[in-house]
Amino acid sequence: MQRGRPRRRCQILQVLWGRAVNVALRQDIRRRPFSKRSPSTLFILASLLIVPKPADSQPLSSEFMKVEVVEAGGVYDVFAASLVHSDVTFTLEMELTNLKASKSLPFIGTIRGKQREKILQLELVNKKKGGGYECKYFYRIGNLNAEHDTTNIYQLPYEIGASHRVTQSYFGKLSHDENSHYAVDFAMSVGTKVCAAREGIVVGFYENSDQGGPNDKYLKLSNYILIRHSDLTIGAYYHLKNKGVLVRIGEKVARGQVIAYSGNTGFSFAPHLHFEVLKAKTGKESQSLPIKFKTRRGIISEPLQGKSYIAK
Protein backbone atom coordinates (compact mmCIF):
# COMPACT_ATOMS: atom_id res chain seq x y z
CA MET A 1 0.00 0.00 0.00
CA GLN A 2 1.18 3.48 -0.82
CA ARG A 3 2.20 5.51 2.22
CA GLY A 4 -0.28 8.15 3.27
CA ARG A 5 -3.26 6.56 1.50
CA PRO A 6 -6.10 4.84 3.36
CA ARG A 7 -6.87 1.17 2.97
CA ARG A 8 -10.39 0.44 1.75
CA ARG A 9 -12.48 -2.45 0.60
CA CYS A 10 -16.10 -2.94 -0.20
CA GLN A 11 -17.93 -6.17 0.35
CA ILE A 12 -21.67 -5.74 0.20
CA LEU A 13 -24.23 -7.75 2.11
CA GLN A 14 -27.83 -6.86 1.37
CA VAL A 15 -30.40 -7.83 4.00
CA LEU A 16 -34.03 -6.88 4.39
CA TRP A 17 -34.79 -5.37 7.77
CA GLY A 18 -38.15 -6.47 9.11
CA ARG A 19 -41.03 -7.09 6.75
CA ALA A 20 -41.01 -5.96 3.16
CA VAL A 21 -43.33 -3.10 4.07
CA ASN A 22 -40.47 -1.33 5.83
CA VAL A 23 -38.43 -0.85 2.66
CA ALA A 24 -35.23 -1.02 4.68
CA LEU A 25 -32.00 -2.63 3.52
CA ARG A 26 -28.57 -3.00 5.05
CA GLN A 27 -25.15 -2.92 3.43
CA ASP A 28 -21.99 -4.02 5.23
CA ILE A 29 -18.65 -2.82 3.88
CA ARG A 30 -15.44 -4.42 5.07
CA ARG A 31 -11.88 -3.28 4.64
CA ARG A 32 -8.93 -4.47 2.58
CA PRO A 33 -5.78 -2.75 1.25
CA PHE A 34 -6.10 -1.07 -2.16
CA SER A 35 -3.34 -1.52 -4.72
CA LYS A 36 -1.40 1.45 -6.06
CA ARG A 37 -3.56 1.34 -9.16
CA SER A 38 -6.77 1.57 -7.19
CA PRO A 39 -9.14 4.28 -8.37
CA SER A 40 -9.47 7.35 -6.18
CA THR A 41 -13.26 7.14 -6.24
CA LEU A 42 -14.96 4.34 -4.32
CA PHE A 43 -18.63 3.51 -4.79
CA ILE A 44 -20.28 1.61 -1.94
CA LEU A 45 -23.05 -0.22 -3.74
CA ALA A 46 -25.07 -3.38 -3.82
CA SER A 47 -25.76 -5.56 -6.84
CA LEU A 48 -22.14 -6.45 -7.57
CA LEU A 49 -21.05 -2.80 -7.43
CA ILE A 50 -23.06 -1.95 -10.54
CA VAL A 51 -24.92 1.36 -10.40
CA PRO A 52 -28.55 0.52 -11.07
CA LYS A 53 -30.16 2.34 -13.97
CA PRO A 54 -32.72 4.93 -12.88
CA ALA A 55 -36.12 3.31 -13.08
CA ASP A 56 -39.69 4.21 -12.27
CA SER A 57 -40.38 0.70 -11.02
CA GLN A 58 -38.04 -0.61 -8.33
CA PRO A 59 -38.40 -3.84 -6.29
CA LEU A 60 -37.68 -3.87 -2.57
CA SER A 61 -34.50 -5.84 -3.23
CA SER A 62 -33.05 -2.97 -5.27
CA GLU A 63 -30.51 -0.40 -4.17
CA PHE A 64 -32.19 2.87 -3.18
CA MET A 65 -29.06 4.89 -2.33
CA LYS A 66 -25.29 4.83 -2.59
CA VAL A 67 -22.35 6.15 -0.62
CA GLU A 68 -19.27 7.34 -2.47
CA VAL A 69 -15.79 8.23 -1.20
CA VAL A 70 -13.77 10.60 -3.40
CA GLU A 71 -10.12 11.59 -2.92
CA ALA A 72 -9.63 15.34 -3.14
CA GLY A 73 -6.20 16.83 -2.42
CA GLY A 74 -5.19 14.43 0.31
CA VAL A 75 -8.58 14.31 2.00
CA TYR A 76 -11.51 12.01 1.30
CA ASP A 77 -14.96 13.44 0.68
CA VAL A 78 -17.89 11.17 1.51
CA PHE A 79 -21.02 11.64 -0.60
CA ALA A 80 -24.48 10.12 -0.33
CA ALA A 81 -26.97 9.97 -3.18
CA SER A 82 -30.57 8.91 -3.55
CA LEU A 83 -31.06 6.70 -6.60
CA VAL A 84 -34.84 7.03 -6.44
CA HIS A 85 -37.33 9.89 -6.52
CA SER A 86 -38.12 9.49 -2.85
CA ASP A 87 -36.18 11.03 0.01
CA VAL A 88 -33.94 8.48 1.72
CA THR A 89 -32.85 8.66 5.36
CA PHE A 90 -29.67 6.82 6.28
CA THR A 91 -27.34 6.01 9.15
CA LEU A 92 -23.65 5.78 8.29
CA GLU A 93 -21.38 3.98 10.76
CA MET A 94 -17.59 4.01 10.37
CA GLU A 95 -14.63 2.60 12.31
CA LEU A 96 -11.55 4.66 11.45
CA THR A 97 -7.85 3.81 11.63
CA ASN A 98 -5.54 6.85 11.47
CA LEU A 99 -8.44 8.84 10.01
CA LYS A 100 -10.66 11.50 11.51
CA ALA A 101 -14.11 12.51 10.33
CA SER A 102 -15.30 16.08 10.03
CA LYS A 103 -18.63 15.19 11.68
CA SER A 104 -19.68 12.98 14.56
CA LEU A 105 -20.25 9.32 13.81
CA PRO A 106 -22.57 7.58 13.37
CA PHE A 107 -23.94 10.15 10.94
CA ILE A 108 -27.69 10.34 10.33
CA GLY A 109 -29.10 12.35 7.45
CA THR A 110 -31.66 12.58 4.66
CA ILE A 111 -30.94 12.81 0.96
CA ARG A 112 -33.72 14.27 -1.17
CA GLY A 113 -34.92 12.23 -4.13
CA LYS A 114 -32.44 12.00 -7.00
CA GLN A 115 -29.96 14.25 -5.18
CA ARG A 116 -26.28 13.80 -4.26
CA GLU A 117 -24.71 15.59 -1.30
CA LYS A 118 -21.36 15.70 0.45
CA ILE A 119 -22.02 14.51 4.00
CA LEU A 120 -18.59 14.53 5.63
CA GLN A 121 -14.84 14.41 5.05
CA LEU A 122 -12.12 11.99 6.13
CA GLU A 123 -8.54 13.10 6.75
CA LEU A 124 -5.41 11.22 7.73
CA VAL A 125 -4.29 11.96 11.29
CA ASN A 126 -0.65 11.01 10.64
CA LYS A 127 0.03 11.76 6.99
CA LYS A 128 3.18 9.64 7.01
CA LYS A 129 1.16 6.50 7.62
CA GLY A 130 -1.64 4.75 5.87
CA GLY A 131 -5.13 4.54 7.29
CA GLY A 132 -8.28 2.62 6.79
CA TYR A 133 -11.92 2.29 7.66
CA GLU A 134 -14.76 -0.11 8.07
CA CYS A 135 -18.19 1.23 7.41
CA LYS A 136 -21.77 0.18 6.93
CA TYR A 137 -24.91 2.09 6.21
CA PHE A 138 -28.59 1.49 6.77
CA TYR A 139 -31.42 3.29 5.07
CA ARG A 140 -35.16 3.74 4.90
CA ILE A 141 -37.50 5.61 2.62
CA GLY A 142 -38.63 8.90 4.17
CA ASN A 143 -37.47 12.26 5.49
CA LEU A 144 -36.13 13.03 8.97
CA ASN A 145 -37.75 16.46 8.82
CA ALA A 146 -41.27 15.25 8.13
CA GLU A 147 -43.83 16.74 10.53
CA HIS A 148 -47.16 14.95 10.29
CA ASP A 149 -50.17 17.23 9.82
CA THR A 150 -52.44 15.70 12.44
CA THR A 151 -55.40 17.82 11.30
CA ASN A 152 -55.61 15.84 8.08
CA ILE A 153 -58.47 13.35 7.84
CA TYR A 154 -57.67 10.46 5.49
CA GLN A 155 -60.05 8.71 3.15
CA LEU A 156 -60.19 4.96 3.57
CA PRO A 157 -57.93 3.65 0.76
CA TYR A 158 -60.76 2.35 -1.40
CA GLU A 159 -63.76 3.67 -3.31
CA ILE A 160 -66.42 5.83 -1.69
CA GLY A 161 -69.32 3.62 -0.65
CA ALA A 162 -67.24 0.45 -0.59
CA SER A 163 -66.85 -1.53 2.62
CA HIS A 164 -63.86 -3.62 3.71
CA ARG A 165 -63.02 -5.50 6.87
CA VAL A 166 -59.95 -4.66 8.95
CA THR A 167 -57.86 -7.81 9.35
CA GLN A 168 -55.03 -6.18 11.30
CA SER A 169 -55.00 -2.79 12.98
CA TYR A 170 -52.79 -0.71 15.26
CA PHE A 171 -50.17 -2.75 17.10
CA GLY A 172 -51.12 -5.85 15.10
CA LYS A 173 -49.12 -8.94 16.01
CA LEU A 174 -49.65 -11.09 12.91
CA SER A 175 -47.14 -9.48 10.55
CA HIS A 176 -46.49 -5.92 11.76
CA ASP A 177 -43.40 -4.96 13.73
CA GLU A 178 -42.19 -2.03 15.82
CA ASN A 179 -41.75 0.09 12.69
CA SER A 180 -45.37 -0.35 11.58
CA HIS A 181 -47.41 -0.05 14.77
CA TYR A 182 -50.04 2.12 13.08
CA ALA A 183 -50.38 0.19 9.83
CA VAL A 184 -53.81 -1.12 8.85
CA ASP A 185 -54.62 -4.18 6.74
CA PHE A 186 -57.90 -4.33 4.82
CA ALA A 187 -59.26 -7.59 3.39
CA MET A 188 -59.65 -7.17 -0.38
CA SER A 189 -60.17 -9.64 -3.16
CA VAL A 190 -57.52 -9.46 -5.87
CA GLY A 191 -58.32 -6.72 -8.37
CA THR A 192 -60.16 -4.36 -6.00
CA LYS A 193 -59.64 -0.67 -6.77
CA VAL A 194 -57.18 1.02 -4.38
CA CYS A 195 -57.61 4.76 -3.88
CA ALA A 196 -55.25 7.44 -2.59
CA ALA A 197 -56.09 8.14 1.03
CA ARG A 198 -54.52 11.59 0.70
CA GLU A 199 -53.28 13.77 -2.14
CA GLY A 200 -49.58 13.79 -2.93
CA ILE A 201 -46.85 12.95 -5.43
CA VAL A 202 -45.86 9.42 -6.44
CA VAL A 203 -42.22 8.86 -5.46
CA GLY A 204 -41.94 5.09 -5.78
CA PHE A 205 -43.70 1.98 -7.01
CA TYR A 206 -43.19 -1.59 -8.13
CA GLU A 207 -45.65 -3.80 -9.99
CA ASN A 208 -43.73 -6.70 -11.55
CA SER A 209 -44.09 -9.31 -8.81
CA ASP A 210 -46.55 -12.17 -9.27
CA GLN A 211 -45.53 -14.06 -6.12
CA GLY A 212 -46.73 -13.97 -2.54
CA GLY A 213 -47.52 -16.05 0.52
CA PRO A 214 -46.97 -16.41 4.28
CA ASN A 215 -43.28 -17.19 3.94
CA ASP A 216 -40.15 -15.08 4.44
CA LYS A 217 -39.00 -15.89 0.91
CA TYR A 218 -41.66 -13.45 -0.32
CA LEU A 219 -40.52 -10.53 1.85
CA LYS A 220 -38.99 -8.58 -1.02
CA LEU A 221 -41.67 -9.45 -3.56
CA SER A 222 -44.47 -7.05 -2.67
CA ASN A 223 -45.84 -4.66 -5.27
CA TYR A 224 -46.30 -1.21 -3.78
CA ILE A 225 -46.85 2.52 -4.24
CA LEU A 226 -45.23 5.30 -2.20
CA ILE A 227 -46.87 8.75 -2.17
CA ARG A 228 -45.16 11.76 -0.61
CA HIS A 229 -47.54 14.14 1.14
CA SER A 230 -47.12 17.90 1.54
CA ASP A 231 -45.80 17.41 5.10
CA LEU A 232 -43.09 15.03 3.75
CA THR A 233 -44.68 11.93 5.27
CA ILE A 234 -45.10 8.89 3.02
CA GLY A 235 -48.31 7.03 2.30
CA ALA A 236 -47.43 3.38 1.60
CA TYR A 237 -49.72 0.92 -0.18
CA TYR A 238 -48.54 -2.72 -0.33
CA HIS A 239 -49.36 -6.20 -1.72
CA LEU A 240 -50.72 -4.81 -4.99
CA LYS A 241 -51.68 -6.90 -8.00
CA ASN A 242 -49.12 -7.83 -10.64
CA LYS A 243 -49.13 -5.02 -13.24
CA GLY A 244 -51.77 -3.36 -11.10
CA VAL A 245 -50.23 0.10 -10.62
CA LEU A 246 -52.05 2.90 -12.46
CA VAL A 247 -49.75 5.85 -11.65
CA ARG A 248 -46.18 6.78 -12.43
CA ILE A 249 -43.26 8.54 -10.75
CA GLY A 250 -43.77 12.27 -10.34
CA GLU A 251 -47.52 12.09 -10.93
CA LYS A 252 -49.70 14.24 -8.69
CA VAL A 253 -52.59 12.23 -7.33
CA ALA A 254 -55.79 13.49 -5.78
CA ARG A 255 -57.45 12.18 -2.66
CA GLY A 256 -59.77 9.35 -3.68
CA GLN A 257 -58.11 8.79 -7.07
CA VAL A 258 -57.85 5.16 -8.13
CA ILE A 259 -54.12 4.41 -8.11
CA ALA A 260 -53.88 0.61 -8.25
CA TYR A 261 -55.57 -2.77 -7.94
CA SER A 262 -55.14 -4.81 -4.79
CA GLY A 263 -53.41 -8.17 -4.79
CA ASN A 264 -51.65 -10.78 -2.69
CA THR A 265 -47.97 -10.22 -3.46
CA GLY A 266 -45.10 -10.27 -1.01
CA PHE A 267 -45.35 -11.54 2.57
CA SER A 268 -49.08 -12.06 2.82
CA PHE A 269 -51.47 -14.51 4.48
CA ALA A 270 -54.42 -13.67 2.19
CA PRO A 271 -55.39 -11.04 -0.40
CA HIS A 272 -55.41 -7.66 1.31
CA LEU A 273 -54.17 -4.08 1.22
CA HIS A 274 -51.60 -2.88 3.73
CA PHE A 275 -51.73 0.89 4.26
CA GLU A 276 -49.71 3.13 6.53
CA VAL A 277 -48.34 6.65 6.83
CA LEU A 278 -44.74 6.91 7.96
CA LYS A 279 -41.65 9.00 8.42
CA ALA A 280 -38.05 7.93 8.89
CA LYS A 281 -36.42 8.33 12.32
CA THR A 282 -32.97 7.00 11.36
CA GLY A 283 -31.65 4.68 8.69
CA LYS A 284 -32.58 1.80 10.99
CA GLU A 285 -36.00 2.90 12.20
CA SER A 286 -39.20 4.18 10.68
CA GLN A 287 -42.02 5.78 12.61
CA SER A 288 -45.49 4.66 11.63
CA LEU A 289 -47.96 7.45 12.38
CA PRO A 290 -51.49 7.28 13.83
CA ILE A 291 -54.06 8.76 11.46
CA LYS A 292 -57.79 9.44 11.34
CA PHE A 293 -60.14 8.05 8.69
CA LYS A 294 -63.42 9.43 7.43
CA THR A 295 -66.16 6.78 7.36
CA ARG A 296 -69.88 6.82 6.69
CA ARG A 297 -70.47 6.68 10.46
CA GLY A 298 -68.02 9.44 11.28
CA ILE A 299 -64.32 9.97 11.86
CA ILE A 300 -62.39 7.14 13.49
CA SER A 301 -58.96 7.41 15.09
CA GLU A 302 -58.34 3.68 15.49
CA PRO A 303 -59.84 1.10 13.12
CA LEU A 304 -60.92 -2.00 15.01
CA GLN A 305 -59.73 -5.42 13.89
CA GLY A 306 -62.60 -7.52 12.58
CA LYS A 307 -64.84 -4.55 11.87
CA SER A 308 -65.87 -3.32 8.39
CA TYR A 309 -65.89 0.35 7.42
CA ILE A 310 -67.65 2.14 4.57
CA ALA A 311 -65.59 4.85 2.86
CA LYS A 312 -67.09 8.31 2.65
- CATH number of the domain at 280, please: 2.70.70.10
At residue 82, the pLDDT reads: 93
291-304 mean pLDDT:
96
Q: Given a cut of 60, is residue 5 above it in pLDDT?
A: no
Average pLDDT, the chain: 82
Cβ atoms of 197 and 164 within 8 Å: the answer is no
For residue 56, what pLDDT band results from cuts at 50, 70 and 90? low
How many domains does the chain contain in total? 2
If asked whether residues 278 and 173 sit together in one domain, one would say yes
Q: Taking the alpha carbons of 78, 84, 90, 94 in that order, is the dihedral positive or negative?
A: negative
Task: State pTM to two decimals.
Answer: 0.79
Domain-located, residue 147 = no
If asked whether residues 161 and 250 sit together in one domain, one would say yes
41-57 mean pLDDT:
36
CA–CA dist 4, 127 (Å, integer):
5
At residue 190, the pLDDT reads: 98
Higher pLDDT, 187 or 57: 187
Distances (CA, A) of 109 to 126, 170, 297: 29, 28, 42
State which amino acid sits at residue 199. E
Q: Given a cut of 50, is residue 53 above it in pLDDT?
A: no
Q: Given a cut of 90, is residue 295 above it in pLDDT?
A: yes
Higher pLDDT, 133 or 272: 272
At residue 88, the pLDDT reads: 93
Distances (CA, A) of 32 to 6, 11, 131: 10, 9, 11
Cβ atoms of 198 and 293 within 8 Å: the answer is no
If asked whether residues 134 and 157 sit together in one domain, one would say no
Residue range 64-88, pLDDT digits in tens: 899 988 888 778 999 999 998 889 9
Residue range 242-259, pLDDT digits in tens: 999 999 999 999 999 999
At residue 35, the pLDDT reads: 28
Q: Given a cut of 70, is residue 279 above it in pLDDT?
A: yes
Domain-located, residue 293 = yes
For residue 109, what pLDDT band results from cuts at 50, 70 and 90? very high
Domain-located, residue 61 = yes
Q: Given a cut of 80, is residue 55 above it in pLDDT?
A: no
Structural domain of 193: 153-310
If asked whether residues 120 and 168 sit together in one domain, one would say no
Contacts of 203 (CB under 8 A, 6+ apart): 84, 85, 86, 87, 113, 226, 227, 228, 234, 249
Residue range 149-174, pLDDT digits in tens: 999 999 999 999 999 999 998 866 66
If asked whether residues 193 and 73 sit together in one domain, one would say no
